[in-house]
Amino acid sequence: MTPGNRPLEPTEVRVCTGPVKYVGQAAIAEDVRNMRAALQGRPVEGFLSALGPLSVGAGLRNEYYKDEETYLFAVAEAVREEYTAITDAGLILQVDEPEFATSWQFYPHWSLGDLRTYLEMCVRVINHALEGVPEELVRFHFCWASPHRPHVNDIELQHIVDLLVQINAQSYAFEAGNVRHEHEWEVWKDVNLPDNKILMPGVITHSTDLVEHPRLVANRLKNYASIVGRERVQAGTDCGMGSRVGHEDIVWAKLEAMAEGARIASEELSN
């Protein structure tokens, strides 16, 4: 069984019985219009999130294409239309791909070698989806899934980071603020990261309603800057915050802490 054949819960099963096509043209056009209107007159860059091909394809049982890889490549070609609609508008595309790190949890019989073989194929699929998309406008986000649980079976970053950096994105956004993965900043010491790449670690997390202290945020950012340099680190969140934290006031407090922590880190790193 492969992730694209994973059964859904409850009992509903979606099946691919014909060619995969993109039908979201009107929806993405509206999203782009709304974002560009919101950015009007503001000196900030905007981004739109779009699901990665693995996450779009997961949960559909393939009964049309000859094999799972062919099916996922077809999904990749379909989602590329959404990706180019975003970047053609001058916006940053954030590819949200939780499947990149969560597949391991659904197949406990897999060895590490099995997972890496699968992820090598996944990198080819993702890069196929990104063909023709300007790399400087691509941010790749992955996580270990958002539900509140022990996460003791999360695959460790050290086992997949070399595959991650083969994805054709300028920046990589990942969970780094929760207690299961905060220590993994040290993994990047052993990564041959190309000079044009940017790291966006999550420095505030959805995994707790506790609001991070700006000093903690600053320290987290400085850890990464000590490895790749201050100009190649951006502050990010572990995952989307709005629906995962107890109250919207907590979300805003966390974002304020992130902004203040980034200010502190920038000031200290410039001295």
Distances (CA, A) of 66 to 16, 17, 74, 115: 12, 12, 11, 22
Nearest CA among 9, 16, 35 for reference residue 78: 16
User: Given a cut of 50, is residue 8 above it in pLDDT?
Assistant: no
Q: What is the pLDDT of residue 7?
A: 47
Nearest CA among 143, 183, 138, 187 for reference residue 161: 187
| pTM of the entire predicted model | 0.92
Is there a cis peptide before residue 10, judged by omega within 30 degrees of 0? yes
Q: What is the pLDDT of residue 31?
A: 97
Distances (CA, A) of 256 to 98, 207, 235, 250, 253: 26, 17, 12, 10, 5
Residue written as token pair 């969560």: 102
- The CA R_g of the chain, rounded to the nearest whole Å, is 19
Per-residue tokens: 226: 């000590």
Per-residue tokens: 90: 């001058």
Q: What is the pLDDT of residue 105?
A: 72
Residue 241 vs residue 53, higher pLDDT: 53
- pLDDT interval class at 11 (50, 70, 90): low
pLDDT digits (tens, 9 = 90+) for 228-247: 999 999 999 998 877 788 78
Question: What's phi and psi for 233, nearest 5 deg?
Answer: -130, 130
Q: Where are the beta strands (DSSP E) in 17-153?
A: 47-51, 60-62, 92-96, 138-142
The helix, strand and coil proportions of the chain, stated in percent and rounded to the nearest 5, come to 50, 15, 40
Residue pair 78/25 in contact by the 8 Å Cβ criterion? no
Lowest mean pLDDT, pick from 56-60, 67-71, 86-90, 155-159: 56-60
- pLDDT interval class at 5 (50, 70, 90): low
Per-residue tokens: 109: 């019989």
Nearest CA among 214, 220, 226 for reference residue 178: 220
- pLDDT interval class at 56 (50, 70, 90): very high
User: Given a cut of 60, is residue 48 above it in pLDDT?
Assistant: yes
